[in-house]
Every structure is written in structure tokens, then in C-alpha cells.
A and B are shown apart, each in its own frame.
Chain A
């Protein structure tokens, strides 16, 4: 039997509706699911159903109002040290390829920021970077460019390279191909599948595109009116 990589138990999220209002709006209600190592769990739902909010909660970017997250069967404690380790193991890839990278930094600088976080000797950093670029199908020519000077597909590959440098175990993919062309979408989806096999990555794939979910996922949950069904 495969090990459970991520388990979500009874997650709920409510927001205050206005600055001075005491009214609260319920976005997610009692969400529970588990994802096994090396598998992809798909979260499907129409726009505005709380898919991205759930993704942010899973990546510990947002706190749930109630409920618990278990990573490798251990509950997530929200102290500083544990969150730092957790956030490195779980990474999130966003929808907007250009918005995911700092427009004022070259691709080299964006990647160097991440390389600086990895505990590897300085003389090996260039080789690690080169190897990661090759893994995501990019050439070194791209390093001197800015995000606005490369295509949407290339931007998503750079984002993926930044994520892979941190050696994550689980990636939350929030509509990573919805802004891409059909052929580029196919390239990125195939790359994600290949990386999953090579590195035994676990994915939570958020999308409103049923074809993409069918192609990528082993198991799915549909969000409707804030509940997973």
C-alpha cells in the first residue's frame, strides 16, 4: 500500500464580508481528502467555488478557520520552524505565468534567489542550475531575459525550475495551463507527468478544465457550494 503524503481533515474557511461588517461568508465547508505519494489528486469546480483558497490553505499560505492538515501522516504545526520546512516541501504553481515571476528581475536573478536558499557549496550551484534548466527543457540563453521577453510557456517552465530547485515532495498546481495555448499546454502537461514519474512527486491539480483533470489525475474531488463531493 502506498504511503499517504497529504491528508486534509475537515477544513473549513470563512471570511469577514466587509471591513466593519460582522457578517461572515463561508467559502469551504468540511473538506476532507487524502493523496498518496506519487499520485495526482484533482480538484475541479466552477470559477469562484474556492478552489484557489483551498490550494493556498494546503500550501500554508492561508490559515483554515477550522480543520487540520497532515503531511506524511504528521499534523502541521504552525510554528515558524515547522512552517519553513513544510513550505519548502510543498510548493505552489500559479495560474498567471508572467505574474509568478518578478518583472524587474532577469530569469538568472529569479533563479539565483532560489539557488541561494539551497544548502549546497557555491561552486556546485551553477551546475545544479544548469541541470534544472535542462530538466524543464530550457536553454541557458533564457537566463539574460526578463519575464516579459519570454513566452507564457517558457515563464511556466522557469516557475517550475524554481520549484524543482527546492526539491519539493508535493506541488499544488493551480490552473498552471489555463492561460496557455493548446500546444504549449500539451508540452507543460507532459513535462509535469514526466517529472512526477522521475522524481516521485505528488500533485494536487486545481482546474476547471475537465480534459486536463482527466489526463493528469488519479483521483478527483468536485467542489460545489464549498463542499467536496
Chain B
């Protein structure tokens, strides 16, 4: 069953340097109970897609297309209608725990806030519920954690608190935006285990956003590769890592440590003046003449959707 469907999403930002085409014609479906990973380099539009779903884009953004959740188009909803969905139905785990938590409020205040606002719970009941959640998330000493302030916690602990805040209302869709960024391997493993646990506990679906392919491989059922605001390949994670199809996907996997850190030559294109045709063609080792003129359409290859002339 489809829980969330993105149809032809386009997001542009008006800036002093010109119009930034951050997301271009992106479509995908998130099925009930599945984890879909969105991977790609910084600036490829991953977080913009997440923020479009949550409707928390800055005022200079223009959104076109549809974001369908339970037969409602989120793009068309007003602030009041969205406030019933944000946090309760769809929640976002932000990428920088040091900035995402308010430094002047205790963890207890911040983790119980969704319960007090959305469920109108009394503070004492909300605290009890928060303690119970932290216990289920294997937090050592939930009582101490509740009374602590963000500065008293390590980066990993703060990230785990953010996970707690975002799942306390049992949302149907969890969007995890780079939840393992900057963490060491031990904490990374811990956060991934926690995400798997909350997803199982709440039977939620997850959109997992990462520039790091390792956690995406560990946690996702399907994977979508973004480049310069467009999806270039989408399919089952197992198949993707066994045999990537798009030249950019191949390049990404070649740059992994186990392949000897072989970089993709060149840099991502300007999002204000992107190249004509396929946006990856200036860096592509397999480019043909047509690549600089025409952007290919998706074709089905080995059960995966790929946007490359090599397969058309």
C-alpha cells in the first residue's frame, strides 16, 4: 500500500544570483512499512525534498507538483491543516542535533512538547510516557536524561533524543535527514539500531536521507540516487549494491573505501545554470553525443528505474 507519493516535484529558490533549481521533476512512492533511502552528494536536493514534504521550506522557495499523503495533497494544505500532520503523522529527524535541540530547555521539556501540544496530555503523564519511550530505546537512566540539558549530552545522545522526539507520537512516516552525519562508527551503529527499533515498534515507513552509502545499505529496502535535483536510478537496495546501473551510481560505489576511494572526476554542476541534456554528462565516462542535448527518460532495467541513454 502506498503511504506517501511524490509526483513531479519541482522546487526552485529565488536568490540574488538567479533561480536555483533544487529539485526537478522528482517522483517516487513510499510504501507502508518500507524504508526508502535517498542518497546523493551534498546539494543534490535530498533535504529540500524532506523539507517540501514537511512544508518547512524558506519563503523564497516555489513548490510545484504533488505530495500525496492519505489522498491529501500536502502542497495545497494551509498551515492549520499541516499542523495536524507535522509531527503526528509525518515526523522529521533533523540532521544537526546540536542545532535542532533548544539549548535553554531541558530534554524533558523538549521530548514531552509534542505530547502536550498534540495529545493535550498533562505534564506528569507526558514525562512518564517520555521516560517509557527512552527506556524502550535502551537509554541508560531515562530519569537523568529527562532532567539534562543538551549541552550535557554527547552528539550521539542528542541524536538519539531527536529520534525519541520525532517518534513519541507514533508517526506513520519518519523522515530521517542524515541522522548519522559526523558520528563515529560506534555511535553510527547505535543510531541505526535505534532507527530500526523505532520503525519496528511503530510499524512506520521511513525516508532515510544520507550522503553516506553504508548506513543507507544497512537500513533501506529500496534506494533512490539523486544527482543535481533529479533521481537517476531507483530500485531494490540489494540489487543496487550488487550491480549499479547508472554511470553516476557506479562512480559513487567506486569511491567507497572498500573500492580504494576512487573519486568521480569533476564537480557537481551549477544548479542555477545546469548543463543541457543529462546533468551528469560532463563527468560521465560513458557519455555520447546525444547526452549533451537530451535528458533521457526512465527505463525499466532489471526491475529498476534508470535514466540513462545507455539503456534506452
Taking beta carbons and an 8 Å cutoff, which residues of A are in contact with B? 46-48, 149, 151-154, 178-187, 189-190, 208-212, 214-215
Contacts and interface: CB of A to CB of B under 8 A. Distances in A.
Contact of B156 (A47, A149, A154): A47
Contact of B261 (A48, A153, A181, A215): A215
A152 to B, nearest CB: 6
Question: What bracket does the count of chain B residues touching chain A fall in?
Answer: 20 to 34
A205 to B, nearest CB: 14
B213 interface: yes
Interface stretch (B83-91, B176-184, B236-244): B176-184
Q: Please classify the interface of chain B as helix (H, G, I), strand (E, B), loop, or mixed, using the class held by over half of its residues.
A: loop
Interface in B175-219: 181-187, 211-213
Given A182-B255, A215-B261, A151 B186 contact: no
Given A47-B154, A47-B184, A210-B185, A184 B41 contact: yes
B263 A48 contact: no
Given A47-B155, A48-B154, A186-B263, 4 more contacts: A47-B187, A186-B255, A186-B264, A208-B185
Interface string B244-283: 0000000110011110111110011000000000000000
B42 interface: yes
A151 B43 CA distance: 8
28 contacts: A46-B186, A46-B187, A47-B154, A47-B156, A47-B183, A47-B184, A47-B187, A151-B43, A154-B267, A181-B41, A182-B211, A182-B252, A183-B251, A183-B252, A183-B263, A185-B255, A186-B255, A186-B261, A186-B262, A186-B263, A187-B263, A190-B263, A209-B184, A211-B257, A212-B257, A215-B257, A215-B260, A215-B261
A185 B261 contact: yes
B111 to A, nearest CB: 23
Contacts of B17: 149
B41 to A, nearest CB: 4
Interface in B146-181: 154-156, 181
Nearest to A138: B267
A187 B255 CA distance: 9
Interface in B272-309: none
Contacts of A184: 41-42, 263
Nearest to A49: B184
Contacts of B268: 151
Contact of A190 (B41, B182, B187, B261): B261
A181 B181 CA distance: 10
A209 B252 CA distance: 18
B257 to A, nearest CB: 3
